[in-house]
Amino acid sequence: DVVMTQTPPSLSVAIGQSVSISCKSSQSLVASDKNTYLNWLLQSPGRSPKRLIYQVSKLDSGVPDRFSGSGSEKDFTLKISRVEAEDLGVYYCLQGTHLPLTFGSGTKLEIK
């Protein structure tokens, strides 16, 4: 199984600061169709997960452009610029290139 190593496990930031979350996979996530199936999800408190970014860097509709994704092969980053209060929750990376699908262990974002 592909292991998704996500760091840091938690972050505490002030409103307006920027943060980055890392996700490293144990195998390349480039699929046979040349796409890279790496998503970023946010699970706000008490809510179901919501997809923010798909295929490494493509923002879902309605997601603020303060969010950005980057990376390739085995090394990926989610960046949140100018954190807002509504950004708090747990962020997960998810790889969909290989079965079984696997998630990172999550990064809990708290607001100072």
Residue count (the chain): 112
Among 2, 7, 19, 51, binds other proteins (CB under 8 A): 51
Piece in contact with other proteins (CB under 8 A), picked from 10-18, 21-29, 69-77, 96-104: 96-104
15: number of Cβ within 10 Å: 11
Piece in contact with other proteins (CB under 8 A), picked from 12-20, 46-54, 67-75, 80-88: 46-54
Residue 112 CB, shortest distance to other proteins, in Å, is: 23
- Strand stretches in the chain, DSSP E: 4-7, 10-13, 19-25, 38-43, 50-54, 58-59, 67-72, 75-80, 89-95, 102-103, 107-111
Can you read off the two tokens belonging to residue 78? 């989610």
Query: Interface mask (CB under 8 A) for other proteins, residues 13-42, using x and -?
Result: ------------------------x-x-x-
Question: In angstroms, rounded to a whole number, what is the distance separating the alpha carbons of residues 68 and 56?
Answer: 9
Contact positions toward other proteins, by CB under 8 A? 37, 39, 41, 48-51, 54, 60, 92, 94, 96, 99-106
